[in-house]
Chain A
Amino acid sequence: MAGGIKKFVVACFDDEKVLFPAVKNVRKAGYKIHDVYTPFPVHGLDHAMGLRETSIHTAGFIYAITGTTTALSFISWVFTNDWPLNIGGKPHFALPAWIPITFELTVLFSAVGMVLTFCYLCNLAPFVKKHVFHPRATDDLFVMAIECTDKTDDAEVQNFLQQAGATEIKVESAETGWWIGRYDREQKLYRD
Chain B
Amino acid sequence: MSQPFTLPGSYKKWTYALLGLGAVAIIYGLISFHPFSHPHGEDVSSTRFWAVMLQNSVFWLLVVNASMFFICATTLAMGGWQVALRRVPEAISSVVPILGVIAFAILMFLVWGDRHDIYHWVDKEAVKHDKILTGKSAFLNPVFFTVWTSITIFLWWFLGRKMRAMSLKTDQDGPMDYETGKKWVFKNTVWGSLFIVFFALTVASTIPWLWLMSIDAHWYSTMYSWYTFASSFVSGMSLVALFIIFLKNRGQLEYVTDEHLHDIGKFMFAFSVFWTYLWFSQYMLIWYSNQPEETTYFIQRLGTAEKAGPYKGIFFFNIIINFLCPLLILMKRGAKRNWGLVTFMAVLIIFGHWIDFYQMVMPGTLHEKGQLMPFEFGVALFFIGLIMWGTGRYLEKNSLLAKNHPFLKESMIHHT
Q: Do A and B bind each other?
A: yes
A residues near B, CB below 8 A? 43-44, 53, 57, 61, 88-89, 96-97, 99-100
Q: Which residues of A contact B287 (CB under 8 A)?
A: 96
Interface residues on B, range: under 10
CB distance from A91 to the nearest CB of B (A): 9
Evaluate contact between A96 and B415: CB separation under 8 angstroms.
no
Evaluate contact between B333 and A99: CB separation under 8 angstroms.
no
In whole angstroms, what is the CA distance A57 to B332 when docked? 9
In whole angstroms, what is the CA distance A97 to B290 when docked? 13
Evaluate contact between B288 and A97: CB separation under 8 angstroms.
yes
Q: Which residues of B contact A99 (CB under 8 A)?
A: 280, 284
Evaluate contact between B415 and A43: CB separation under 8 angstroms.
yes
- Give the dominant DSSP class at B's interface: helix
Q: Does B98 contact A (CB under 8 A)?
A: no
Q: Which residues of B contact A89 (CB under 8 A)?
A: 290
The residue in chain B whose Cβ has the minimal distance to the Cβ of A89 is B290
Interface residues of B in 260-300 (CB under 8 A from A): 280, 283-284, 287-288, 290
Q: Which residues of B contact A96 (CB under 8 A)?
A: 280, 283-284, 287-288
Q: Does B165 contact A (CB under 8 A)?
A: no
Q: Which residues of B contact A100 (CB under 8 A)?
A: 284
Evaluate contact between A97 and B415: CB separation under 8 angstroms.
no
Q: Which residues of A contact B290 (CB under 8 A)?
A: 88-89
In whole angstroms, what is the CA distance A88 to B284 when docked? 14
Q: Does B331 contact A (CB under 8 A)?
A: yes
CB distance from B410 to the nearest CB of A (A): 12
Interface residues of B in 371-416 (CB under 8 A from A): 415
Q: Which residues of A contact B284 (CB under 8 A)?
A: 96-97, 99-100
Interface residues of B in 231-264 (CB under 8 A from A): none
Question: Besides A96-B283, A99-B280, 14 other CB < 8 A contacts?
Answer: A43-B415, A44-B415, A53-B333, A57-B333, A61-B331, A88-B288, A88-B290, A89-B290, A96-B280, A96-B284, A96-B287, A96-B288, A97-B284, A99-B284
Q: Which residues of B contact A44 (CB under 8 A)?
A: 415
Q: Name which of A57, A61, A96 has the most chain B CB atoms within 10 A of its CB.
A: A96
CB distance from B134 to the nearest CB of A (A): 32
Interface residues of B in 18-69 (CB under 8 A from A): none
The residue in chain A whose Cβ has the minimal distance to the Cβ of B331 is A61
CB distance from A110 to the nearest CB of B (A): 12
CB distance from A82 to the nearest CB of B (A): 23
In whole angstroms, what is the CA distance A96 to B286 when docked? 11
Q: Which residues of A contact B415 (CB under 8 A)?
A: 43-44
Q: Which residues of B contact A97 (CB under 8 A)?
A: 284, 288
In whole angstroms, what is the CA distance A43 to B280 when docked? 38
The residue in chain B whose Cβ has the minimal distance to the Cβ of A53 is B333
The residue in chain A whose Cβ has the minimal distance to the Cβ of B289 is A88
In whole angstroms, what is the CA distance A100 to B280 when docked? 10
In whole angstroms, what is the CA distance A163 to B65 when docked? 57
In whole angstroms, what is the CA distance A97 to B415 when docked? 41
In whole angstroms, what is the CA distance A53 to B415 when docked? 15
The residue in chain A whose Cβ has the minimal distance to the Cβ of B281 is A100
The residue in chain A whose Cβ has the minimal distance to the Cβ of B283 is A96
In whole angstroms, what is the CA distance A97 to B287 when docked? 9
The residue in chain B whose Cβ has the minimal distance to the Cβ of A43 is B415
